[in-house]
């Protein structure tokens, strides 16, 4: 199998006691990730499940470059090169092909809906001022061309087309569910090979669930790899190929969703 993400022996801890301005008091630390290792196969949809505080989001933050582990590596394998995410900046990781949907909503409130999508659709290298000075015509499409590309990408989704109708509105004016849809639409138009989705089904209505399923199917059919954190077990059983159960900072069980959810510890965690 072709491995797109190789996570090896990750360790991460946080200080247990903080004071004002982030100052640490005492020498007490809490281990959040304890020697975690896992592989993601290219083109798969893999779920990471576990109770609150298991370290799931911390792992995603390490993959995204937002946290540095004390030990271990996270190697993102592109077709022509590899990148250790524990040594790279978030910008380098994102521009290299890793897209992220955060838990909750993460929008720039004053930016319009279309501006959000334009940021995702524009190649990262074309946003560097040095490139724009040297290659202003070669490296950049016009705003009209980019908007047309975006519309062609999203037009198969009813909810994304509704977003397009409100394209000039500020993103903060959208409902919670529609802000989540805006995040998904941004990942659709971005040039990402690996998508990290943190609780993508949270707060969605039935129509949005249909959009989410269609999004996952389209991304997988296009060769994209999806790694998601999720607490909705019905969603896991329906949408996911492979599943990891995380507890005490480690992967304890791996397999198909049916295999993982059969373990007594997992059933107890999710009251199955």
CB of 200 closer than 8 Å to CB of 132: no
- Give the 3-state secondary structure of residue 251: strand
Give the Cα separation of 220 and 225 in Å (integer).
6
Q: Is the pLDDT of residue 251 over 60?
A: yes
The reported pLDDT for the residue numbered 245 is 96
Q: Is the pLDDT of residue 23 over 80?
A: no
Q: Phi-psi region for residue 187, left (φ > 0), alpha (ψ -120 to 50) or beta? A: alpha
Helix (H) or strand (E) holding 5: strand 3-15
Q: In 195-252, where does DSSP find H-type helix?
A: 206-221, 233-239
Chain CA centroid to CA 89, Å: 16
Domain that holds residue 112: 3-19+28-270
The total domain count for the chain is: 1
Q: Give the single-character DSSP code of 139.
A: S
Which residue, among 145, 144, 146, 208, has the nearest Cα to 175 in the 3D structure?
A: 208
User: Which pLDDT band, with edges at 50, 70 and 90, does 257 fall under?
Assistant: very high
The CATH number of the domain where 173 resides is what? 3.40.50.300
Mean pLDDT across 24-53: 87
The reported pLDDT for the residue numbered 29 is 75
Which residue, among 52, 37, 49, has the nearest Cα to 235 in the 3D structure?
A: 49
CB of 178 closer than 8 Å to CB of 205: no
The residues, any chain, with a CB within 8 Å of residue 25's CB and separated by 6 or more, are 17, 18, 19
Percentage of the chain exceeding pLDDT 70: 87
Q: Is the pLDDT of residue 77 over 90?
A: yes
The reported pLDDT for the residue numbered 144 is 83
CB of 154 closer than 8 Å to CB of 58: no
The reported pLDDT for the residue numbered 246 is 95
Q: Is the pLDDT of residue 137 over 70?
A: no
- List pLDDT tens digits, range 147-169: 999 999 999 999 999 999 999 99
Q: Is the pLDDT of residue 57 over 80?
A: yes
Q: Is the pLDDT of residue 89 over 80?
A: yes
Between 31 and 215, name the one with better pLDDT: 215
Which residue, among 138, 106, 108, 115, has the nearest Cα to 125 in the 3D structure?
A: 138
- List pLDDT tens digits, range 165-197: 999 999 999 998 899 999 999 999 998 999 999
Residues in the chain: 272
Q: Which DSSP string corresponds to 36-98?
A: EEEEEETT-EEEEE--TTSSHHHHHHHHTTSS--SEEEEEEE-SS-EEETTTS-HHHHHHHTE
127 phi, psi to nearest 5 deg: -90, -5
CB of 7 closer than 8 Å to CB of 74: yes
CB of 203 closer than 8 Å to CB of 23: no
User: Which pLDDT band, with edges at 50, 70 and 90, does 130 fall under?
Assistant: very low
- Give the 3-state secondary structure of residue 38: strand
């Amino acid at each position: 199998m072709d491995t797109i993400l190789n996570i090896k022996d990750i360790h991460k801890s946080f200080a247990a006691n903080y004071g004002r301005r982030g100052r640490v008091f005492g020498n007490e630390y809490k281990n959040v990730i304890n020697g975690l290792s896992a592989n993601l196969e290219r083109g798969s949809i893999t779920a990471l499940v576990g109770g609150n505080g298991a370290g799931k989001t911390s792992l995603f933050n390490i993959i995204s470059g937002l946290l540095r582990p004390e030990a271990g590596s996270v190697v993102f394998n592109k077709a022509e090169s590899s990148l250790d995410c524990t040594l790279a900046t978030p910008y380098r990781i994102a521009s290299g092909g890793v897209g992220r949907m955060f838990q909750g909503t993460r929008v720039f409130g004053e930016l319009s809906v279309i501006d959000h999508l334009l940021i995702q659709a524009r190649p990262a290298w074309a946003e560097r001022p040095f490139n724009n000075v040297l290659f202003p015509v070669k490296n950049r499409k016009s705003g009209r061309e980019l908007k047309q590309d975006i519309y062609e990408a999203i037009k198969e989704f009813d909810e994304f087309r509704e977003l397009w109708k409100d394209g000039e509105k500020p993103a903060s004016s959208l409902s919670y569910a529609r802000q989540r849809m805006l995040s998904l639409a941004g990942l659709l138009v971005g040039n990402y090979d690996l998508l990290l989705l943190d609780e993508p089904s949270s707060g969605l209505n039935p129509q949005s669930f249909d959009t989410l399923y269609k999004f996952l199917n389209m991304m997988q059919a296009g060769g994209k790899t999806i790694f998601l954190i999720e607490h909705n077990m019905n969603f896991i059983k329906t949408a996911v190929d492979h599943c990891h159960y995380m507890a005490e900072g480690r992967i304890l069980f791996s397999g198909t969703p049916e295999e993982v959810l059969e373990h007594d510890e997992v059933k107890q965690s999710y009251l199955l």
